[in-house]
Amino acid sequence: MSLDGGGTPRMTRLNSMKPSERMKIPRQQPLEQDATERSTNFLEVSLGFDTDRSVIEASRCLECKETQCTDGCPVGIDIKSFIQLVLQKDYVGAVNKIREANYLPAICGRVCPQESQCESLCVLGKKLTPVAIGKLERFVADYEMKNNLFQSPHIQDHHKEMVAIVGSGPAGLTCAAELAKIGYQVTIFEALHAVGGVLRYGIPEFRLPKEILDLETERIRALGVQIYTNFVVGRTATVGELFDEWGFSAMFLATGAGTPTFMGIPGESLSGVYSANEFLTRVNLMGAYKFPEYDTPVRLGKHVAVIGGGNTAMDAVRTSRRLGAEKAYLIYRRSKEEMPAREEEIHHAEEEGIEFLLLTNPVRILGDERNCVSGIECQKMELGEPDDTGRRKPVPVKGSEFVLEVETVIEAIGQKPNPIIQSTTPGLDTGKRGTVSVNEKQATSRPGVFAGGDLARGGATVILAMRDGKTAASEIAGYLRSRNGDSSGAK
Partner 1 sequence: MFPIVQKTSLAPTITKYVIQAPFVARKRKAGNFVMIRVDEHGERIPLTLADSDPAAGTITLIVQALGKTTKHLSSKEAGDTILDVVGPLGTPTPIELHGTVVCIGGGVGTAELYPIARALKNAGNVIHTVIGARSKDLVILEQEMLGCSDAVYVTTDDGSYGRKGFVTDQLKDLLGSIGPVHAVYAIGPLPMMKAVSTVTKISGVKTYVSLNTIMVDGTGMCGGCRVNIGGQMKFACVDGPEFDGHLVDFDELMMRNRSYLEMERQSEARWHQCRLTGEVRPA
Footprint on this chain of partner 1 (rule: CB under 8 A): 191-193, 201, 229-232, 235-237, 258-260, 262, 264, 268-272, 274-275, 277-278, 281-282, 286-287, 291-297, 299, 370-372, 418-420
CA dist 173 and 19 (Å) reads 39
CB of 191 to partner 1, least distance (A): 5
| Alpha carbon distances (Å) from 70 to 98, 120, 295, 475 | 11, 11, 46, 22
State how beta strands 373-386 and 392-396 pair: antiparallel
Residues 6+ apart with CB under 8 A from 163: 179, 184, 185, 186, 187, 248, 249, 250, 251, 252, 476, 480
User: Can you tell me the distance from the alpha carbon of 106 to that of 95, in angstroms, rounded to the nearest whole number?
Assistant: 9
State in angstroms the smallest separation of the CB of 53 from partner 1.
Answer: 37
Q: Closer to partner 1 by CB, 226 or 229: give it.
A: 229
Angle ∠(216,243,166) on CA atoms, nearest 5: 30
Tell me how far, at minimum, the Cβ of 45 lies from partner 1, in Å. Answer: 25
Residue spans of beta strands (DSSP E) within 15-140: 31-32, 46-48
Rank residues 78 and 268 by Cβ distance to partner 1 and give the closer one.
Answer: 268
**d(C-alpha 391, C-alpha 221), whole Å:** 44
Burial 73-98 (b: 16+ CB within 10 A, else e): bbbebbbbbbbbbbbeeebeebbbbb
Q: How far is the CB of 205 from partner 1 (least distance, A)?
A: 16
Nearer of residues 150 and 228 to partner 1, judged by Cβ: 228
Nearer to partner 1, 133 or 227 (CB): 227
Query: How far from each other are the two terminal CA atoms of the chain, in whole angstroms?
Result: 40
Using alpha carbons, select from 101, 100, 82 the residue that is nearest to residue 140: 82
Distance CA 97, CA 95 (A): 5
The amino acid occupying position 253 is L
Nearer to partner 1, 296 or 437 (CB): 296
Helix axes 170-181, 210-221, angle to 10 degrees: 30
Nearest residue (CB) to partner 1, 25 versus 232: 232
**Closest CB to partner 1 among residues 282, 457:** 282
* Dist. CA 3–CA 20, nearest whole Å: 8
CB of 415 to partner 1, least distance (A): 9
Contact 379, 400 (CB under 8 A): yes
With a CB cutoff of 8 Å and minimum separation 6, the contacts of 151 are none
Least separation in angstroms between CB 446 and partner 1: 21
CB of 407 to partner 1, least distance (A): 12
Cα–Cα distance between 307 and 325 in angstroms, integer? 15
**SS3 for 172?**
helix
**What length is written for the chain?**
491
Nearer to partner 1, 229 or 487 (CB): 229
Q: Least separation, in Å, of the C-beta of 412 and partner 1?
A: 12
Least Cβ distance, residue 66 to partner 1 (angstroms): 44
Which residues does residue 410 pair with via DSSP β-bridges, in sequence order? 274, 306
CB of 198 to partner 1, least distance (A): 10
Nearer to partner 1, 106 or 325 (CB): 325
- SS3 label, residue 331: strand
Q: Given the complex with partner 1, which of 63 and 205 has the nearer CB atom? A: 205
